[in-house]
């Protein structure tokens, strides 16, 4: 278990380094989303046997072209996954996860493949090849999904984002609510949890398919094995993104507007951005701060909690009618 803790600390440190580059310019943010739109669609489909290469996947979902000699279903999987990926960014801004979010992700992915079963729980018994464990009986799926959603919404503030994301993926796959597409929806949900809590998309390349399946199977009795596997994939994806960021921007502007007259040493650029926004708009709610700073609401909430714990800000009055106040520190100008 100590190994996992070390990896979670490493992921947190990587995340702090990535935060120094935020908020990203709209053009950069758009290109990154497109980068992972192709990367996640390609890898997630490849894990399930889709024959499209990464460059072919890009052509299919961005140019709407078909690849000669490749199955039509493989094209449908690419287009459907890309649509589900786009939807992912919409639901990360919501207050909490809902059952409809899961059904919509599956419907978007599966619509062109099998419209009758898209976004519908399976009504038949299924078996997972290579697994010694049974999945949830069809009659119990709705109740088990609602239990899963309740667990997620209650656990989001208590578990580390990587443990939360890995466990959500694991529990969803063990239910196996759909006729097909469960693995892809599970990986989308995993990334939903990561994005909502300030982390980047995590990629599982097809070359790791054996390790991925093994860790999921082992998680029936030792769930920490799958958490450890996902932690490795989060760190690897973070390092890839950090490399891209450093190539584009060798130095990070750590300055903050003079309207914030506090010692900002040690704050990330995200923390500085939110601190500056609060100094200019102390009456802003989380939603207004998220819109102003171009950050997600969970990121705003998490960062404000950090700023409060470090005594940079405090809340005066109620949540609805109160305002934020910057705590003046000794030695400020």
pLDDT over threshold 70, residue 64: yes
Active site residue 169: no
Annotate 182-208 with b (16+ C-beta within 10 A) or e (fewer).
bbbbbbbbbbbbbbbbbbbbbbbeeeb
Give pLDDT tens digits for 231-283: 999 999 999 898 888 766 543 343 334 444 445 556 787 888 888 888 878 88
The percentage of residues in the chain with a pLDDT greater than 90, rounded to a whole number, is 64
pLDDT over threshold 90, residue 143: yes
Indicate the burial class of 253 (C-beta count within 10 angstroms; 0-12, 13-18, 19 or more).
exposed
The dihedral built from the CA positions of residue 131, 133, 137 and 143, taken in this order, carries a sign that is: negative
More confident residue, 260 or 107: 107
- The residue from 81, 117, 176, 323 that is catalytic is 176
Extract long-range pairs of 230-234: CB within 8 Å, 24+ residues apart.
230/162, 230/165, 230/166, 230/169, 230/190, 230/202, 231/4, 231/7, 231/8, 231/11, 231/162, 231/166, 232/7, 233/202, 233/203, 233/204, 233/208, 234/11, 234/162, 234/165, 234/194, 234/199, 234/200, 234/202
Give pLDDT tens digits for 188-206: 999 999 999 999 999 999 9
Q: Residue 185: CB partners within 8 Å, gap ≥ 6?
A: 84, 102, 105, 106, 109, 172, 178
Per-residue pLDDT, 236: 93
Structure-token match 């100008």, residue found: 333
pLDDT over threshold 80, residue 81: yes
| pTM of the predicted model as reported, rounded to 2 decimal places | 0.76
Mean pLDDT of the chain: 89
The pLDDT of 308-328, averaged and rounded, is 79
pLDDT over threshold 90, residue 209: yes
Question: To 5 degrees, how large is the angle CA 76–CA 190–CA 171?
Answer: 105
């Amino acid at each position: 278990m100590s190994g996992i803790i070390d990896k979670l600390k490493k992921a947190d440190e990587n995340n702090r380094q990535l935060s120094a580059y935020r908020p990203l310019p709209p053009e950069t943010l758009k290109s990154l989303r497109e980068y992972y739109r192709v990367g996640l669609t390609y890898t997630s489909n490849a894990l399930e046997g889709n024959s499209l290469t990464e460059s072919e996947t890009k052509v299919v979902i961005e140019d709407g072209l078909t690849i000669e000699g490749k199955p039509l279903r493989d094209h449908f999987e690419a287009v459907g996954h890309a649509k589900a990926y786009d939807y992912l960014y919409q639901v990360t801004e919501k207050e909490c996860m809902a059952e409809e979010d899961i059904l919509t992700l599956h419907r978007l992915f599966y619509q062109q493949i099998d419209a009758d079963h898209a976004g519908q729980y399976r009504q038949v018994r299924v078996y997972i090849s290579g697994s010694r464990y049974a999945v949830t009986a069809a009659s119990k799926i709705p109740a088990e999904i609602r239990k899963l959603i309740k667990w997620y919404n209650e656990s989001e503030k208590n578990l580390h984002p990587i443990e939360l994301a890995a466990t959500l993926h694991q529990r969803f796959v063990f239910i196996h609510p759909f006729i097909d597409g469960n693995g892809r929806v599970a990986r989308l949900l995993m990334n939903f949890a990561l994005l909502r809590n300030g982390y980047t998309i995590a990629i599982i390349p097809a070359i790791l398919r054996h390790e991925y399946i093994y860790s999921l199977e082992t998680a029936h009795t030792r769930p920490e094995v799958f958490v450890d596997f996902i932690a490795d994939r989060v760190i690897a994806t973070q390092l890839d993104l950090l490399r891209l960021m450093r190539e584009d921007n060798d130095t990070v502007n750590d300055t903050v507007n003079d309207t914030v007259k506090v010692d900002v040493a040690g704050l990330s650029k995200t923390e500085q951005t939110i601190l500056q926004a609060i100094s200019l708009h102390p009456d802003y709610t989380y939603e207004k701060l998220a819109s102003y700073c171009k950050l997600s609401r969970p990121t705003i909430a998490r960062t404000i909690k950090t700023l409060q714990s470090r005594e940079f800000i405090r809340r005066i009055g109620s949540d609805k009618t109160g305002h934020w106040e910057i705590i003046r520190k000794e030695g400020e100008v």
